[in-house]
Amino acid sequence: MAPEHDVMPEAVPGEDQSTVTTRVMELVVAAVLMVLAGVVMLDSVRVGIGWAFDGPEAGYFPFYIGLIMFLASAVTFGVNLIGRNADTSNFVERSALRLVIKVLVPTVVYAGVMYFLGIYVASAIYICFFMMWLGKYSIRKAAPVAIVIPLILFWLFEIAFLIPLPKGPLEAAFGY
C-alpha cells in the first residue's frame, strides 16, 4: 500500500482569481492622498499659514502636515509609476474582496440611513442586521442587543457627557 501524501485541495474555479495588483492599489491610494493633501493645503492657505504677532495662524500646522503628506504620497506614486521593482503581485483575492464588500456596503447604507433616522435608530437596525446576517443569530437574540446598545450610547453621550449626536424623527417624538 502506497503512503498517503498531504494533497492540497484544488481551488474552486473562479473562487480566488486575481483582482488588482498591489502596484495599481498603491497608485490609487497615493493619488487619493495627494488630492486630500492638496485640499488641506488650499484650505490652510485660505485661513492663513503665516506667523501672526501672537503665534502661528490657524492654517500653519495643517498646511505643513498636508505638504508632508503630499510629498510622501508623490514619492510613493512616482516610485510605483516609473519604478522597475514595483510590486505586481495580486493585491487581494476575490473571496477576500467579497468579505470586505459584505461589510462595506451595509456600512455605507448605515451612514445614509443615519442621515434620515438619526444615529440611535440607524445603529439599532445596523446591529440587528449584522447579528442576524453575518452572526446567524435569531431575532430573539439580536433585537435586545440592538436595542440596549443604542440606549447605553444615548445615556453615555446625551446624558452623561452632554454631547448631542444626530437625532431622527423618533427622538424628536420623545422630545429630544
**164 and 102 in one domain?**
yes
Name the CA radius of gyration of the chain, rounded: 25
Per-residue pLDDT reduced to its tens digit, 126-173: 999 999 999 999 999 999 999 999 999 999 999 999 999 888 887 777
In a domain, 52, yes or no: yes
| Predicted pLDDT of residue 171 | 76
| Predicted pLDDT of residue 38 | 98
**73 and 117 in one domain?**
no
Per-residue pLDDT reduced to its tens digit, 99-133: 999 999 999 999 999 988 999 999 999 999 999 99
DSSP code per residue over 60-106: HHHHHHHHHHHHHHHHHHHHHHH-TT---SBS-BHHHHHHHHHHHHH
In a domain, 149, yes or no: yes
**100 and 65 in one domain?**
no
The pTM is what? Answer: 0.62
**167 and 140 in one domain?**
yes
**67 and 41 in one domain?**
yes
pLDDT at 3 over 90: no
The torsion angles phi and psi of 165, rounded to 5 degrees, stand at -110, 165
Helices 22-47, 60-82: crossing angle, 10 deg rounding = 160
Looking at 59, 82, 105, the residue that finishes a domain is 82
Instruction: Give kind and range of the element (H or E) at residue 133.
Output: helix 119-133
**99 and 168 in one domain?**
yes
In a domain, 57, yes or no: yes
**119 and 76 in one domain?**
no
Give the model's confidence band at 12: pLDDT under 50 very low, under 70 low, under 90 confident, else very high: low
In a domain, 69, yes or no: yes
CA distance 31 to 58: 26
Per-residue pLDDT reduced to its tens digit, 53-89: 999 999 999 999 999 999 999 999 999 999 888 788 8
In a domain, 17, yes or no: no
In a domain, 16, yes or no: no
| Predicted pLDDT of residue 83 | 84
pLDDT at 7 over 60: no
In a domain, 137, yes or no: yes
Looking at 30, 56, 82, the residue that finishes a domain is 82
Please give the residue range of the domain that contains residue 106: 95-173
Q: How many domains does the structure of the chain reveal?
A: 2
| Predicted pLDDT of residue 120 | 93
